[in-house]
Structure 1
């Protein structure tokens, strides 16, 4: 049975707040606050946690290949991922129409990318939805192979990520339209691999190899500093996302490991419970904020952004959860 760690929900709660802050602050504010070491780590943390949850799910199982893509698996993922997304599609269509009638602004983003996760009214961070949709098909295979050949699977994931980056650098289409590059799950394969190893580290009593994570995380943090503030960059890698590459993900993994150590596995303390609840609603809050930032023109009011996205996200989470329970009966 999969072991539940309240720390994971707490970390997801902190990460979704970081996403809202990331989309509310200016680049100058982010750089002067050294956000590359905290707020800018939101997506890497989510991706490493994705790998860690995969490891926790598959670590205690002996699966055969034909047990991966079952009707039960797709039914579960459809309720958890696809159903909220389809509801948000409908909400964004209605909201876009109302916005056009009231403010005479054309806020729709209607093209073929709606088929791969772009909302009809698309705001900041929409690419993560497409990442998540890809993960539904890729993660079971990664978990299956890692459970059998962890070292070889890790090497394949890291090398595939590096190869994708090198090839993407040569593709002219990505210069004209970055979305498919931004939303490519290949970019986060090493983060998923780190999460898989992290699941071993937190569930096994023998953590003598934790020093490797500390060493890699510190080295990763040094690279982040030189990249962000000294202008160091990797050749033949696209410049837009060099703060999120295989050299930087160990820093996010180290933050998660420190969070696992710092927060209790289970606690009734109000602050921890509230943040854990926030983490459980993080996907719904994220969908709401994509729509929100696609509608508003002035998104500089940080308090307003947080209040609206968190409140609306919680309402969406509770309402959708209730509907899902009815459907699943």
Structure 2
């Protein structure tokens, strides 16, 4: 066995788990969009910013308009990527989508990193208990429904989004199946699912502060169905001036008006509340289409390559930052929740430090994941020979 040859293969194919797929047994290259990697990089930068800076400061900076759109943008990307993957594979029925290859790929991409994340979280929790003689159990863990949804004993910010990511493996293919048959009806259906979810929450619970019951709904992908529907819709044509996308431009002023009203006046009326609802989707979709139109598809400079690498690593960075901030939020909760008071000059340094640590940790984790995957691939090829 030529180990130098194998080593070269590993180094040359570090993106193989992301850039290739099989169609009828033939290996094809994925259609890659640098624009999406750029948006995902922006999203993860903002996630770390959100978990570094107190909410009142973010709001004072107009964060609703540029910071709170990351969730609908990310869900649009998630549906867009999956929809394009199914379309390129020529898959329509759930039987074609829900196959061994699909679940194996998702298991490697999402479940294995999550299992590692969960194990490390428990280790951190046990260390904290040993050092501080405190249980450090977040109230979420007292509710069994959050245990089932994937929360760990040692809570960290952003953990609510894990159930959304994991459930997307099963839910988005169902939406795509119906979308491939009737795109318009499916888009309306996605909107009404989200609309009625918000309406039901209002009718049952009213407009109240966050609690475990409300948070349970916010961990449910169906509450963001309109973002998923729009993401699938844009797989048909993501051009800004496309005829089929005019409805997004028509709804855009309403979406912008809502952002302004919510940012400046704290608007909340009946079941229209918060920054993650159907009124935020047109503006988020507009940002997506704007990026796809004006950002080059495949730049080759070093900065673009770094952004592409970060874009591919966002899931690992996301999990890493939960682990990192779980320690910060428990050890120094005053800083985590209230910040540094009037010492505003510290925030840029604090954010830059957090960004560096989480980028480094997440990227290294991703690189290790890719190398292990490629080693296993090459080992399997060698064994077959």
TM-score w.r.t. length of structure 2: 0.78
What is the distance in 2 between the residues matched to 1:191 and 1:294? 28
Return the offset for 1:187. Answer: 1.3
1:217 aligns with 2:252: yes
Which aligned pairs between 1:247-326 and structure 2 lie closer than 5 A? 247-296=279-328, 297=332, 298-299=335-336, 300=339, 301-326=350-375
Q: Secondary structure in 2 aligned to 1:178?
A: helix
What is the distance in 1 between the residues matched to 2:294 and 2:134? 47
Structure 1 residues 290 and 45: alpha-carbon distance in aligned structure 2, compared to 1, 3 A threshold: same
Contact residue 316 and residue 362 of structure 2 kept, 8 A: yes
Q: Which has the larger radius of gyration?
A: 2
1:178 aligns with 2:207: no
Structure 1 residues 145 and 85: alpha-carbon distance in aligned structure 2, compared to 1, 3 A threshold: same
1:187 pairs with one of 204, 223, 240: 223
What is the distance in 2 between the residues matched to 1:39 and 1:316? 26
Return the offset for 1:23. Answer: 1.4
In structure 2, the residue matched to 1:84 is 113
How many correspondences in the alignment? 325
Contact residue 58 and residue 147 of structure 1 kept, 8 A: no
Q: Give deviations 1:198-219, integer Å, cap 9, x for gaps.
A: 22223x7982444443332333
Flag structure 2 segments of 5+ consecutive residues without an equivalent.
1-27, 340-349, 381-385
Q: CA RMSD in A?
A: 2.3
Which aligned pairs between 1:74-153 and structure 2 lie closer than 5 A? 74-109=103-138, 110=141, 112=144, 113-153=146-186
Which aligned pairs between 1:236-247 and structure 2 lie closer than 5 A? 236-237=271-272, 239=273, 242-247=274-279
Q: Secondary structure in 2 aligned to 1:123?
A: coil
Structure 1 residues 168 and 209: alpha-carbon distance in aligned structure 2, compared to 1, 3 A threshold: same
In structure 2, the residue matched to 1:70 is 99
1:201 aligns with 2:230: no
In structure 2, the residue matched to 1:167 is 200
In structure 2, the residue matched to 1:58 is 86
Q: Give deviations 1:83-116, integer Å, cap 9, x for gaps.
A: 0000111111112222333344433455532332
Q: Give deviations 1:207-264, integer Å, cap 9, x for gaps.
A: 2444443332333112111122123323135x4xx22111111111111111112221
Contact residue 117 and residue 133 of structure 1 kept, 8 A: no
Q: Give deviations 1:123-167, integer Å, cap 9, x for gaps.
A: 111111000111111111111110110011111111111111111
In structure 2, the residue matched to 1:47 is 75
Return the offset for 1:28. Answer: 2.0
